[in-house]
């Protein structure tokens, strides 16, 4: 499977501010609650495949966000990039066509001074 296109800090910052892409955080809920990128949606990697198969209303109810459409721009990230790469693969296998990876993920985000939201 072709690897996902990579995005950088500035692209993620723009997406976070204008909603041009869904920022998908595939870390565990406790990691997400401890700090995450503004507007990010938390779907833990272990649940992702099942989550993408949910009806839109069930996805909204469980993840407090709209289920992205198959053509929607989605940026996967985790803590350092490993789980994000797996998340991209899961999404592609589910038929999503515009999936990107934030390789530096949350570590890069915080190192560059990105805003962090805590639950």
pLDDT at 55 over 80: yes
Average pLDDT value for residue range 27-53: 97
pLDDT at 4 over 90: no
Q: pLDDT digits over 77-98, tens only?
A: 999 999 999 999 999 999 999 9
Residue 24's CB: how many other CB atoms inside 10 A? 27
Residue 47: per-residue pLDDT: 98
Average pLDDT value for residue range 15-23: 97
Tell me whether residue 76 is one of the annotated catalytic residues.
no
Q: How would residue 103 be classed by pLDDT, with cut points 50, 70 and 90?
A: very high
Residue 2: per-residue pLDDT: 56
Please count the residues of the chain: 119
pLDDT at 10 over 60: yes
Q: In the structure encoding, which two tokens stand for residue 9, read together?
A: 């800090």
CA distance 74 to 77: 10
pLDDT at 1 over 60: no
The mean pLDDT value of the chain amounts to 96
Which of 23, 78, 91, 99 is labelled catalytic? 78
Residue 84: per-residue pLDDT: 97
CA distance 71 to 69: 5
- Domains by residue range for the chain, with CATH: 5-111 (3.40.250.10)
Grouping H, G, I as helix, E, B as strand and the rest as coil, residue 72 is: coil
Q: CA angle, 43 as apex, 37 and 46 as ends, to 5°?
A: 130
């Amino acid at each position: 499977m072709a690897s996902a296109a990579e995005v950088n800090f500035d692209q993620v910052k723009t997406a976070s501010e204008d909603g041009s892409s869904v920022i998908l955080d595939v870390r565990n809920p406790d990691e997400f609650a401890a700090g995450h990128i503004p507007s990010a949606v938390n779907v833990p990697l272990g649940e992702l495949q099942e989550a993408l198969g949910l009806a839109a209303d069930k996805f909204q109810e469980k993840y407090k966000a709209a289920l992205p459409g198959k053509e929607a721009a989605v940026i996967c990230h985790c803590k350092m990039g490993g789980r994000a790469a797996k998340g991209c693969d899961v999404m592609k296998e589910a038929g999503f066509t515009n999936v990107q990876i934030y390789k530096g993920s949350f570590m890069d985000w915080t190192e560059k001074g990105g805003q962090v939201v805590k639950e």
